[in-house]
Each structure stands twice: as structure tokens, then as C-alpha cells.
Structure 1
């Protein structure tokens, strides 16, 4: 009688050191690909709600509220939570619509085709050169 091949166990998935299940970005945003309104990556976000108001929120929303107890930019939120920038924009816009975070847009960011502040760009360039 020929010997039956033994099933091979699948290789262990690459782990980033956390035991959290993989959640696809579209699941975090409910399938949406764009925020309800334009949100600049340099826009600053601060929490306006206390922790009791965040109890029924999705874990991602709770993490953003917790992070933004100290003011953070949308880009920082994306990096610190290791989520794509587009997803971070959608989640932050959801929280702003619910009144749980305040968004401080840079001057002129709401205008279509607005140019960035030249003084700010020069300061950033100067800071980068000092590194």
C-alpha cells in the first residue's frame, strides 16, 4: 500500500510583534476611499472628547482620540498607527464630524489649487539642512 503524503503545515505568517488580527484598510473605513471633506496631511488634530465618549467607537477611532490628546498632524497619526494616509484621513474626518476631535487646517488649505506657505517651506528646508 503506498504511503499517504503527510499534510504540510502552512508556514507561520510574518509577525510584526503584535498579536492583533489583520484588518484590511477598507474594513476600517466601511469601504469608503475618500474623506467627507478635504483634509491636508499637515492639518493638526486634537481630541475634544473625554475617554468616556470614546467607549463605543471602533478601536482605530479610540486610538486616534488617545493619540491626539497631544496635538498631532494627520501624517503623524498615519505613521504612529501604521495605517495608510488615506485611511487616517477618513478616520479623522469621521471623528471630526462626530465632534470628537478638532481639526486645525493650515491657512489656505480649503481653497482649491492653494499653494503652500512659502515661509513655512523655507523653515522646513532650513531645519532639514541642519540635520
Structure 2
């Protein structure tokens, strides 16, 4: 990496990992690919699991969805010239509001995320909590 690029990435975002922020800065955009690009193995001690720290819909919103909205807002502020900012922001806001119609409209941006969040927005929190506990037990309690 050259010095100019590194300076352009600083400061790192508090709303994502440094690696994702560097990639976003390098590419000049935020995007989602719904395909496997790399194979890797997760071990029990990893902290990056989707359910880590999640016990309810509220937890999911506070720990996954709202930080993503802040990240998109921060990116748009830092890179206002990027043409994809408006659509990324609309999708992030739809996620934060749990707006099923908007999630369907922007489904193509991140199909798996949209499907999951449409599902949980339509389910009672009690059922979500039971489902999370079942998934954690299937994953060895993690």
C-alpha cells in the first residue's frame, strides 16, 4: 500500500472492521456479492458469527442493522461523489425501519439479507428468540 492511499483511509470507521473499511476505500464503493469467493473455516472462538451477542430482534437491530446504516452514512459523507450512495442509503434505511416493501424493492442489493430481515420483521420477537436459541444449540451453544 502506498502512503497516499493509507492516509485516504484514515481515520478508520468505528462502524465496521478496518479490513472492510480499507476495501471500501480502495474500491470507492460499498457492494455485496451473493456468491462465495473464498473458503474458510470458522472455529468456536471466532467472534464474527452472525448470532454472536444476538438474543432478540432488538439486539439484531442494534448490533447489525444500525451500525450498517451508520457505516453507509459515514461512507457517503466521506465519498459524496460515489454514485451508489443514494441507493445504499435507501437500502440501509429500509433495513433500519424494517420496511418490508422497501426491502422487497431493494432486494437485488443483498438478497440473503433482505430475505432474512423480511422474515424477522414479520415474526414475533418471542418466536425469533426461540429460533436463535435453537440455532445456537445446533452450533454447539455459540
Q: Which has the higher helix share?
A: 2
Larger Rg: 1 or 2? Answer: 1
Same fold (TM over 0.5): no
Q: Which has the higher strand share?
A: 1
Instruction: Return the TM-score normalized by structure 1.
Output: 0.30
